[in-house]
Structure 1
Amino acid sequence: MAESERESIKEQISMFDEKMISAQRAARSENWREFKKLFEVDRMRLLDPLDLFGNTAIHIATHSDNPNLLQELLELLPRQERWRAMRMGNCVNNTLLHEIVFCTTVDMAGVVFKLEKELQEEVESYDPLVEVRNDSGESPLFRAAKLGKLKMLKYMANHVVGDIRSHFVRFDRCSILHACILGQFFDVAIWLLKLDGNLAQHKDMDGLTCLQLLANMPLVFRSQTPSMGAVKNLVYYLLPDEGYEIDDDYDEKGEEEEESVSFRLRTDLESGPLDKAKQSEFNGIGHIWQKKKQHKLAECLAELLVQKDFSWQISFHSNFQPLIVLPILSSKLDRIKEIQLMKEKRQLVEIAHSRISKPLLKESISEASHFKNYTPLLMAAGSGIVEIVEKIIDMNPEAISHVSQDEHNVLHMAVKHRQLKIFNLIKRNSAFKSLIHRITGEGRTLLHQVARMEFYKEQRLPGVAFQLQDELRWYERVRRIVPPHYLMHCDKDGLTAKDVLEMEHQDMHKEAKSWIKETAQSCSTVAVLVATVVFAAAYTIPGGSQNGTPVFFGSRVFLFFTITDVVALVSSLASVVMFLSILTSPFELWDFYKSLPRKLSLGFALLFFSLVCTMLAFSATVLLTIRLDNKEWTSILFYCAGFLPVAIFAWMQFPLYKTLQKLVRRLYNRVKQV
């Protein structure tokens, strides 16, 4: 028989016999009584693999979370085999204690520790089960911490005989604290940090400390969490700000007090279970509560790590302060050509880097990962985590003067990554004026940093034109604070900040022009259509006229119709004028700073107002025509029907109206200052 035929026959043979398949079915259906009966007849089958991961029936029994079942299955085996069953590993060498960390009750681990104590007298030399590591170098204690099982972690820590710190590092140099932070189990991380403060100084295989790792996780902090909406923000605000501490005391009986912040639904025996509406409501509040708990615990962990961090003390201040490098005098057309050639040259260099040999590729990778060499202060500033930056500066005021190896300070990082909250935080500091003069090792000022799009991320803005406006606002915001002569300074590529701005935002500028033209054309068409309708309605008087006098001339509803129709006509024509002024604009780069977005916002506001007045005029016409006297509910129904298109339009274009609100608020603040 050929070798290929033998292999095909082997593949056709099942890995599991009927008895093991029956045990699998019983485990899947959580029929643990049947599961136990299947192995009472043939007890040694308890040591055979029961699934594709090499777990035995003893491993699978941990899924029941039933200490009695686990003890009974282990006691079915002879004493010597019982010892082997507790130490047997699956395909990744996870022992019974490694799998028990998933259990909610610590009594499961208590069964193993109890049987181990009874059998240890019969074994001459052995490693305690809590010391056994799997293929990744994780002890059961490490695995419990990595999975966020604080209750099980505390229980296992009480059964460690030697130095507990031997469990804190894996084979790949990843510490137990790193694993907890990556899993976002901050309550476990805080408990471990209080147990051993030296964990804060440990670095993983990438050279990152735990604070650096936390500084790259902005979404676990309140300052960088996306908006949850007005109602959820109110609920978040009303929830308590305290009471998120962790109780370090543990009862040996396995009865630990629940964490102070754990939202669970409760049912009253007298009133019965909660209905689905209330249950979904409580689930929503519980989700917000858990989110606030995560934020508070992350902030508490950051405070503990900041107390152990002194990386900001190593600052690379260059002894040589570069002079202002002036651009070579040339015509504007020649300068644009130089910028274009510089851009093409940069693209060719990037293509060449993608095809380089392995030694050079490693060098490029190390340059790309240079961000990892930044201190937690600079990393948090780049991520926009106000909590970490504020705590570092409050605890160590001189940390704000820290400069990285490539001569970036905290202000450079905030500007480069467009972190407005960090920028405003630093601006309130007295050291702000000393930070704006810093020029990096590549000859870049703050203006060069904000002109570049290397770290640009799309903002939650309604269109490309408003995104470009936001970029120009950033440039103007920084231009006001830097010294005037920095506007002429050139970086290592011989480009001023204005040149970099034009070159980097060239594509965005093209997209913004196309978007605003299409939007203005579409909206002007709608505005003309509205103007046509309301103009015709002005000459088609509801109810007709007698001898040139409207029939409903003395009615208040008719007066309301006349006013709303005239206002709708005026506002729609005004919006047409605004959109036409956009289409006739030159569309230069700096036109997107104020002029074009302002015209578009005002045009949208006028168009929306004209639609509202049109719907009001329509409702008034219906009421006059049908003559609904003393029928308030019918009037309300017609009003609601008339406002439905307006509501849909407002809901679809709500982001644009938010920008209009910001514009009005800004104008109001300026008038108030004057």
Structure 2
Amino acid sequence: MASAESSPLMSSDHIDDSVIEFTREFNHRYYQPLHLSILKGDWESTKAFIDNDPTALTTKISILGRTALHVAAVSAQWHLIEKLLQHMPANVLEELDFVGWTCLHYVAMGESINAAKALIAKNPSLTQIADSKGFTPLLHSVTYNRCKEMVWYLVLNTTDDRPGCPFSGPSASQLVTLLTAAGFHDITMYLVQHYPNLATISDLNGSIILNVLSKLPSHFQSGHNFAVWKSFIYHCIPVEHEYLPPNQSIIGNTIWNALQNLVPSIKLVRDTKLRHVYAVRLVNLVFSQASNMNDNQFWKSFVNPNAIFLATSSGIVEILRNCFQYFPELIWAYMPNEGYVVQTAIKNRQEKVFSLLCKMPIICKLLVMAFNQPQNTTSHLAARFVSQVESISGASFQLQRELLWFKEVEKLNHPLYKEVKNQDGKTAWQVFKEEHKPLLEEGKNWMKDTSNSCMLVATLIATIAFAAAITVPGGNNQDRGIPIFLSDNTFMIFAVSDALALFSSMASLLMFLAILNARFAEEDFVMALPKRLIIGLACLFFGVVSTMVAFGAALSMLLQERLKWAPIPIAVLACVPIALFAKLQLPLFIEMIISTYGSRFSRIY
């Protein structure tokens, strides 16, 4: 039997040599029926073979040096593993195949917790046995499978003992990297609390945990954008105040337990929030551990500026907040070709990071006033066009966002800086106009196309409303010209709705006409044009609703004598186009309002 403690690191040549040597004496034809029956999951045939030849339980039955247990694990026949274990001695479970893996290494790559439990119950030392490369089953689980339940089970049943030493040996850094990248931040926290050395593991690029997290903005709340209703759920969902492993976790509110079982999307939102919460706690724990180190050179190399600039360019404000809390001097970090932190935030349009830095006004102003090569002010940096990662509906609103960002950065500069020219002889505003010229043209076309489309609908509504006002339902009295249904309450609903439809559609037409006749200068996209579009869409939506109400009232008057129940289906059907219009246009409408009237850049995060 070859144990992991004495096995050398196996190269591919060594494996080939082992296979060639083994096959010289291996009776492939004899073990083939057993091999095939295990692959098929046929326990009856497998048991019959073993009863006839008990040595087949402990011998190698494949050319890769795998035992019957290995073969069952490779073929994911979990029920066979549990049955074979009943007849197999515990020491056989430590056997390595020619690849250098035990049976538990293969089981760790699957999702059968019961198979892993059965193996570890039979031989608890299996979790410590490393493969030919020094990797324990835990590392295999994180690398190849990423089944969180399996990873948790192996973490809780793995110690830092020899020969594997998974939490202090050479593979510890890889384990931390994979756990962090997989988003298992609660597991990483658990290990860091039990093995503090994992928090300060670093390589030539600095802290491993911080370097990985700085490349994962979606693992933080600042880098995740939810829809309105999901955002509401996100802020309402409770999370555990203290960390507990899964078999000990308690969710305080049973209502949320029931809701997330009924609505899977709620569970998704809750899992996302948990990942965000644990990511922040992990960052805080890592910085806390690093700050306790007395070696000044250590933390300078531990908190590598590259990770800070990655977090800045990705907008991960949670990492930066903790970083500046424990190591305030790092706000002065400078990267060649990047500049200072605040300049990187400006170049990458990271409003949340910018807001965080603005909470330190003196430092922020000093950094903003610094020139970047070649002779660029921060306003020049803000003037550069950057393709937006976020989805912004319409080029005009992307231009609006660019203008707002430029104006906000310009406020921090000295007024004299407005006239400072870069090496190309251009001021910041000249750079902005030149860089955004294509976007200005796209925004102009988008605004005109939208206005033309909406004008068509508004014109149609106005025409219908005007015609309906002249030819009222039921006609007029021949003697006095008064509508026949004038005394009917339903007629009053029709008359008021029809008038509102006409007035709102005409107002909408005027607003869209004002857009078409605008000069379309850059400054117009900040407030003037978006405000007209918002008012026009609001009036148009009101006109659609009023038209449907007027139509429903008119139809009800004509049918109420014969069909008393007619108003009910008419009202339901009238809601269909209103709902469709709201579904298709309301998200854009809300986005326009937030973009135009929301204090995007003045909020403190």
TM-score range, shorter chain: 0.7 to 0.9
Q: Distance in 2 between matches of 1:292 and 1:555?
A: 56
Counterpart of 2:275 (choices 286, 290, 294) is 294
Partner of 2:103: 96
Q: Distance in 2 between matches of 1:495 and 1:208?
A: 41
Partner of 1:202: 201
1:375-416 CA-partner distances (Å, limit 9, x unpaired): 433322222223222222333444433333446233222222
1:558-610 CA-partner distances (Å, limit 9, x unpaired): 22322222221122122222222222233333332222222222221121111
Partner of 1:48: 61
Q: Distance in 2 between matches of 1:412 and 1:659?
A: 28
AA partner of residue 47 (structure 1): K
Q: Distance in 1 between matches of 2:236 and 2:225?
A: 18
Partner of 1:649: 581
Q: Distance in 1 between matches of 2:271 and 2:595?
A: 36
Residues 215 and 380 of structure 1 are in contact (CA less than 8 Å); yes or no, is this contact kept in structure 2?
Answer: yes
Partner of 2:399: 468
Q: Identify unmatched segments of 5+ residues in structure 1.
A: 1-12, 117-128, 248-256, 267-273, 315-371
Partner of 2:39: 24
Residues 130 and 141 of structure 1 are in contact (CA less than 8 Å); yes or no, is this contact kept in structure 2?
Answer: no
The secondary structure found in structure 1 opposite 2:590 is helix
The 3 A distance-change label for structure 1 pair 238 and 265 is closer
Partner of 2:474: 543
Q: Does 1:242 align with 2:249?
A: no
Q: Distance in 2 between matches of 1:423 and 1:558?
A: 58
Q: Distance in 1 between matches of 2:71 and 2:424?
A: 64
Deviation at 1:657, TM superposition (A): 1.8
Deviation at 1:263, TM superposition (A): 11
AA partner of residue 525 (structure 1): L
Q: Does 1:488 align with 2:419?
A: yes
Aligned pairs (5 A) from 1:70-109: 70-72=84-86, 74-75=88-89, 86-89=94-97, 91=99, 93-102=100-109, 104=113, 105-109=116-120
The secondary structure found in structure 2 opposite 1:47 is coil
Residues 244 and 293 of structure 1 are in contact (CA less than 8 Å); yes or no, is this contact kept in structure 2?
Answer: no
Residues 169 and 175 of structure 1 are in contact (CA less than 8 Å); yes or no, is this contact kept in structure 2?
Answer: yes
Residues 167 and 198 of structure 2 are in contact (CA less than 8 Å); yes or no, is this contact kept in structure 1?
Answer: no
Number of equivalenced pairs: 547
Over the matched positions of the two proteins, sequence identity in percent amounts to: 28
Q: Distance in 2 between matches of 1:187 and 1:36?
A: 43
Counterpart of 2:511 (choices 573, 578, 595) is 578
Q: Does 1:627 align with 2:560?
A: yes
Deviation at 1:473, TM superposition (A): 1.3
Counterpart of 1:57 (choices 59, 64, 68) is 68
The secondary structure found in structure 1 opposite 2:222 is helix
Deviation at 1:482, TM superposition (A): 1.7
Residues 309 and 341 of structure 2 are in contact (CA less than 8 Å); yes or no, is this contact kept in structure 1?
Answer: yes
The 3 A distance-change label for structure 1 pair 296 and 90 is farther
The 3 A distance-change label for structure 1 pair 265 and 660 is closer
Deviation at 1:429, TM superposition (A): 2.7
Residues 175 and 199 of structure 1 are in contact (CA less than 8 Å); yes or no, is this contact kept in structure 2?
Answer: no
The 3 A distance-change label for structure 1 pair 386 and 55 is farther
AA partner of residue 458 (structure 2): A
The 3 A distance-change label for structure 1 pair 556 and 160 is same
Partner of 2:544: 611
Root-mean-square deviation (Å) = 3.9
The 3 A distance-change label for structure 1 pair 279 and 162 is closer
Residues 97 and 130 of structure 1 are in contact (CA less than 8 Å); yes or no, is this contact kept in structure 2?
Answer: no
Deviation at 1:283, TM superposition (A): 4.1
Deviation at 1:140, TM superposition (A): 3.2
Partner of 2:445: 514
The 3 A distance-change label for structure 1 pair 416 and 617 is same
Deviation at 1:652, TM superposition (A): 0.5
Q: Does 1:143 align with 2:140?
A: yes
Residues 306 and 391 of structure 1 are in contact (CA less than 8 Å); yes or no, is this contact kept in structure 2?
Answer: yes
Q: Does 1:553 align with 2:486?
A: yes
Q: Distance in 1 between matches of 2:85 and 2:254?
A: 32
Partner of 2:247: 258
Residues 464 and 512 of structure 1 are in contact (CA less than 8 Å); yes or no, is this contact kept in structure 2?
Answer: yes
Partner of 2:531: 598
Q: Distance in 2 between matches of 1:387 and 1:479?
A: 26
AA partner of residue 260 (structure 1): S
Deviation at 1:261, TM superposition (A): 5.2
Aligned pairs (5 A) from 1:109-128: 109-113=120-124
What's the TM-score, normalizing by structure 1? 0.71
Deviation at 1:421, TM superposition (A): 2.0
Residues 436 and 482 of structure 1 are in contact (CA less than 8 Å); yes or no, is this contact kept in structure 2?
Answer: yes
Q: Does 1:381 align with 2:312?
A: yes
Partner of 1:403: 334
Deviation at 1:262, TM superposition (A): 7.6
The 3 A distance-change label for structure 1 pair 109 and 433 is same
Residues 129 and 163 of structure 2 are in contact (CA less than 8 Å); yes or no, is this contact kept in structure 1?
Answer: no
The secondary structure found in structure 1 opposite 2:413 is coil
Residues 543 and 550 of structure 1 are in contact (CA less than 8 Å); yes or no, is this contact kept in structure 2?
Answer: yes
What's the TM-score, normalizing by structure 2? 0.79
Q: Distance in 2 between matches of 1:504 and 1:290?
A: 41
The secondary structure found in structure 2 opposite 1:553 is coil
1:291-328 CA-partner distances (Å, limit 9, x unpaired): 222222211111112224579x99xxxxxxxxxxxxxx
Q: Does 1:534 align with 2:465?
A: yes
Q: Identify unmatched segments of 5+ residues in structure 2.
A: 1-27, 298-302
Q: Distance in 2 between matches of 1:205 and 1:261?
A: 40
The 3 A distance-change label for structure 1 pair 283 and 558 is closer
Partner of 2:18: none
Deviation at 1:282, TM superposition (A): 5.8
Q: Distance in 1 between matches of 2:309 and 2:37?
A: 58
Residues 244 and 296 of structure 1 are in contact (CA less than 8 Å); yes or no, is this contact kept in structure 2?
Answer: no
AA partner of residue 484 (structure 1): P
Q: Distance in 2 between matches of 1:442 and 1:134?
A: 53
Q: Distance in 1 between matches of 2:596 and 2:521?
A: 24
Aligned pairs (5 A) from 1:315-326: none
Partner of 1:252: none
Residues 502 and 543 of structure 2 are in contact (CA less than 8 Å); yes or no, is this contact kept in structure 1?
Answer: yes
1:429-460 CA-partner distances (Å, limit 9, x unpaired): 34333332122244333222222234x32433
The 3 A distance-change label for structure 1 pair 588 and 236 is closer
The 3 A distance-change label for structure 1 pair 440 and 185 is same
The 3 A distance-change label for structure 1 pair 495 and 96 is farther
Q: Distance in 2 between matches of 1:652 and 1:282?
A: 24
The 3 A distance-change label for structure 1 pair 130 and 388 is same
Aligned pairs (5 A) from 1:259-278: 259-260=248-249
Q: Distance in 2 between matches of 1:106 and 1:263?
A: 29
Deviation at 1:100, TM superposition (A): 4.0
Q: Distance in 2 between matches of 1:457 and 1:234?
A: 25
